[in-house]
Amino acid sequence: ELIFEINRRFLQQVRLKYPGNDAVLQRLSIIDEAGGKAVRMAHLATVGSHHVNGVAALHSALVKQDLFPEFAALWPEKFTNVTNGVTPRRWVALA
């Protein structure tokens, strides 16, 4: 029931930005209603997080362009790319 409430509040925000666009609501909804109600865990994590970070610049771009373009359009400031500077070569050398 908590997830349904989170989804209800989130979709209220989406309706304000995209009034009358049910297709966007359906794509962004935390609950997938096609073929039964299922929780879209990645959507829940995106809605509930402060930032969405890729592990590399390429990964961050793929997340924004291919995986979650509607979320990136809704919250462009939420999608970032910060790496910790660990490269496979450095990791192997230190291991």
Q: What is the pLDDT of residues 42-68, one digit of tens each?
A: 999 999 999 999 888 899 999 999 999
Rounded to whole angstroms, the Cα distance separating 42 from 30 reads 8
Task: Work out how many domains the chain is built from and give that number.
Answer: 2
**Domain that includes residue 83, residue range:** 51-95
**What burial class does residue 29 get, using C-beta atoms within 10 Å of its C-beta: 0-12 exposed, 13-18 middle, 19+ buried?**
middle
Last residue of a domain, one of 11, 30, 48: 48
Q: Does one domain contain both 55 and 36?
A: no
**Tens digits of per-residue pLDDT, 67-89?**
999 999 999 999 999 877 777 88
If pLDDT is split at 50, 70 and 90, which confidence band does 35 have?
confident
What pLDDT was estimated at residue 46? 97
Which whole number is the average pLDDT over 31-48? 92
Q: Does one domain contain both 55 and 44?
A: no
